[in-house]
Structure 1
């Protein structure tokens, strides 16, 4: 019987977690689970068989992670089809003619909004190969599952629509404890966005446990007439010894799952943490007239943590004001290597006395350990000088990014310089792992969200941040088209100003701005004064993105008074570029404030310092 016809009068029991059961059977490979279809098909069939013996009517294929982002480098595009087809065939062989098989299509595993267009095309081709493999293997329905947001879900269904050959689709979203998708959408929003799709069913899986699914149940049943599919985790996992460990309470799971069915959920199974034992107990409870029912069918209102509301006046931002008046001067500073701050603070106080507008605090440059730039920026601000902490993505997860930004705001900081950060391979711990959950344009977009009082998932805050955000551009890139694309992306997400790479001539920036439309985003010139000829040579020859004219390089090598010569040349660069810039970002050797004087006079006026 067709699945759709059967669901008109019946409910269906789906299986539980393939991954959890694989781990329980000793699976420990770092390969994606889907590769077990090829490497050990007998083990996959063994697990399917155990679920069928437990009473399952709908088997889900072991293909959740069978897309190119997960399978690369183990297979090529042709291999994607083979892995999925094999997964479908294994499930179909166990299911026979009396059970149904759902072909699992999981999410990309990437932050979809940050994927480049070519990556999206790559993913689309992968989805087509995946679905065609599942259909060739005989699946009865496609389960587009664990979707973290509407945009990727719609992209996935649109990508496979022409290739599904009439095989029906069930779409299932992941929800957090706040009853929103990880992308911040409500159940109502998800259902509304899916209403025009040709779906067999809609529902939820993963993310949360049975208790939270009880809260989701009325939201789904009230908003849609389509069959609803629920596959909760066994509970909230804990991370122990490198592995996610889920609560082991099959009775708790089964009692709630039975209640879902009683209330009208049409397809019920399990996700992470649920094994054949869980499904067996559920089936037994459904057959039995005895057994404990839930002692409540409502969700008790929990005390909600309220946010303190602070009435904030518009904070004066010196950096923004000076950029608007085209007279910003910022000095680059590295925070201390240890907890001893006396020398670093002494340098800060000298800079302050010299009259600069702000200091820009580096974030562990070259991936070498230094004090957190947000903490050091707070110490700077306490001394009465504005600071701009660099904010690197290298060491921060998406959660950490947001918590650090909120902390920076609470500490009174209102400037951020958004960067990706140098890779760990350059630094003290080359074996460590970089995070890079999002790109630098993604960071800018996130900061702008926080400025509106929302986080990445759409959760609202009563006290928005007020960051003024800078970003880097490279006027002499190896690939101009790629640099233009990056700049446009940074402009689109709300960059407030750009800082160039260190420049040693004006022609480079003039030529660059003739080719690139910065759309009136202010531009800050970066000038670097080295502490030695050796450092200058390193900057000129070994740092990507920096070009030093040959005549300047030659004169620095030959002249005894090379530093004065270089300083004069850089002042000329500043004078020539003044019509198109809004300020100066300058790096000078620690303690050498005198090197700043000609630049300050040029930016601030000849009467500066009098």
Structure 2
């Protein structure tokens, strides 16, 4: 009987974990390399699963692609390791079990920074080797990126008539990380030609059962489920799982009742777990079940955000939009001046006060706390959020807290690395990049958490992204902006520019983006300030003329400030010819300077209106 025939007539029992068994034995390094260096150990594990009752075993090739093998300097061993794995599995099976070739996903549960086409290239390389072997079928498992799974499924399906099992990994109960319902994902996999569609890893039997309760039987393909033994426990840096084989067996009856036809185990499962699955199938004489309707319905979609709608910074207001950065102070003694600055700037007519998030990796008073305070006094806060200081859990918590405080405007940035800051030994998190963060904030706007769980309401964030207007290759920088826009960026804020020509070049470069670009202007205050920015701050370049003008004021604080304001006004004059959006950056909490420049912008607008009217009368 072929594997396809077996799947259509009876329940099929898969094997359990390979990697965690090896890990528990104290083996470190590349498990797939053991296919060559210690094949007997791999064969023994296969044999133990078959002896426990597995109808189907998978090759030890989960991470045998060039991308993952590169961590061990084995990227040139793809063919050798995959072929060896098939030989070992076929020998262990010896006609007693079906053998499927496993291909694991490349993307992790964090947002994947490697481009999709590069990931697919290494998966296709591995697939080509395995397709040229005599396995009974193929198992695509642990795919966090659903598009990656669909693409490799399409590739394998086009090259073989043997059964293909396609298993996604959930973000939360009943949903993928994108928020896509499991039923929809299974239907899409079936449409692409998978013979078996299912889920594996990350969750134990209880949560996987809840997920299957939200699905119905597919029209052609059958369902599979490979739960972890339990949620993982970490002690002394080592992962472990509950020893619960009998519980696994008890859950088998329920999983089968929800339509699962292929049932195996993932992380933490052992031959004893598979033995209990076999025992449950035999004692209860379990057979495939057709389920035309879900046993449990998903909760209703998240409602729209309630409350007063806030005008977006991206919506035209008939005048130049001005946002001003006022950096949170490092010391508590600086808070009164900060609060007074926010009041003055709001009174001067700025559209938002933007607060950096520990810029240059130097610790400052929390921008969310200060943002809430200035909002309570009538200012509109725009908070920077850096990926450096918070993991995904902290980022989502921070964002939902912002939502509850009524703060809706964000600048998503990757953040300067911790090593450049004032806390020696501090570590950078970087669970994601700014582009990932933009994408995930937009997911919150759809009412879906980072894990895919329904939030019960939709956030209403407007998201900005950084623009390096001083980049040597503006065309490449604009390509990055286009990708950020595609990810969901609503507007851009540039680093400070100190050249009229650079403002004009930036305006030409971004003219086709069709989203607001706030051009950055930060007034200089002294020659030392100018030299520091030019020589030590990445992304900022001053012209020789600017540096010379500031040098003429060296030693005279008031003269330096006057000259800095004058040069900023000249830059503003150029900016207003090309942009209706300006981003003023306050130097050293000297908010009177940006207050003056905001008033200058408003005065220039009035002059332009009056001139226009006069020209009309003429």
TM-score range with shorter-chain normalisation?
0.7 to 0.9
Structure 2 counterpart of 1:53, from 30, 51, 54: 51
Number of equivalences: 593
Structure 2 counterpart of 1:204, from 194, 199, 207: 199
Residue 293 of structure 1: aligned partner: none
Deviations 1:70-122 (A, max 9, x none): 22232465323333223223222322233222211122224798656xx2222
Deviations 1:441-490 (A, max 9, x none): 33223333333433345544443222232222122313334312211122
Mapped contact 2:447–2:458 kept (Cα < 8 A): yes
Change beyond 3 A, Cα 1:580–1:49: same
Write the distance in 1 (CA, Å) between the matches of 2:214 and 2:576: 59
Write the distance in 2 (CA, Å) between the matches of 1:426 and 1:144: 42
Mapped contact 1:397–1:437 kept (Cα < 8 A): yes
1:128 is displaced (CA, Å) by 1.6
Mapped contact 1:214–1:299 kept (Cα < 8 A): no
1:408 is displaced (CA, Å) by 0.2
The yes-or-no answer on 1:255 pairing with 2:246 is no
Aligned ranges for residues 94-109 of structure 1 at < 5 Å?
A: 94-109=92-107
Structure 2 counterpart of 1:535, from 507, 525, 529: 529
1:59 is displaced (CA, Å) by 1.3
Change beyond 3 A, Cα 1:183–1:330: closer
The yes-or-no answer on 1:603 pairing with 2:613 is no
Mapped contact 2:301–2:454 kept (Cα < 8 A): no
> Which blocks of at least 5 consecutive residues in structure 2 are unaligned?
286-292, 607-618
Write the distance in 2 (CA, Å) between the matches of 1:468 and 1:70: 37
1:300 is displaced (CA, Å) by 10
**Partner SS, residue 576 of structure 1:** helix
The yes-or-no answer on 1:350 pairing with 2:350 is no
Mapped contact 1:142–1:168 kept (Cα < 8 A): yes
1:137 is displaced (CA, Å) by 5.1
TM-score, length basis structure 2: 0.86
Aligned ranges for residues 309-320 of structure 1 at < 5 Å?
A: 311-316=306-311, 319=313
1:351 is displaced (CA, Å) by 4.1
Structure 2 counterpart of 1:554, from 534, 544, 548: 548
1:196 is displaced (CA, Å) by 2.7
Mapped contact 2:53–2:275 kept (Cα < 8 A): yes
Residue 472 of structure 1: aligned partner: 466
Aligned ranges for residues 19-98 of structure 1 at < 5 Å?
A: 19-27=19-27, 29=28, 31-75=29-73, 77-98=75-96
Deviations 1:313-360 (A, max 9, x none): 22356x557x7344333332332436x3x4223232134235342322
Change beyond 3 A, Cα 1:92–1:366: farther
Tell me which moved more, 351-360 or 300-309: 300-309
Write the distance in 2 (CA, Å) between the matches of 1:406 and 1:94: 52
Write the distance in 1 (CA, Å) between the matches of 2:112 and 2:512: 21
Mapped contact 2:10–2:261 kept (Cα < 8 A): yes
Mapped contact 2:228–2:267 kept (Cα < 8 A): yes
Residue 264 of structure 2: aligned partner: 269
Mapped contact 1:221–1:228 kept (Cα < 8 A): no
The CA RMSD measured in Å over matched residues stands at 3.4
The yes-or-no answer on 1:13 pairing with 2:13 is yes
Write the distance in 1 (CA, Å) between the matches of 2:397 and 2:577: 39
Write the distance in 1 (CA, Å) between the matches of 2:427 and 2:70: 19
Write the distance in 2 (CA, Å) between the matches of 1:382 and 1:583: 25
Structure 2 counterpart of 1:337, from 322, 327, 330: 330
1:257 is displaced (CA, Å) by 2.0
Residue 585 of structure 2: aligned partner: 587
**Partner SS, residue 569 of structure 2:** helix
Residue 128 of structure 1: aligned partner: 124
Mapped contact 2:478–2:509 kept (Cα < 8 A): no
Mapped contact 1:77–1:129 kept (Cα < 8 A): no
> Which blocks of at least 5 consecutive residues in structure 1 are unaligned?
291-297
Aligned ranges for residues 153-168 of structure 1 at < 5 Å?
A: 153-162=149-158, 164-168=159-163
Change beyond 3 A, Cα 1:349–1:494: same
Mapped contact 2:196–2:221 kept (Cα < 8 A): yes
Mapped contact 1:67–1:123 kept (Cα < 8 A): no
Residue 295 of structure 1: aligned partner: none
Residue 404 of structure 2: aligned partner: 410
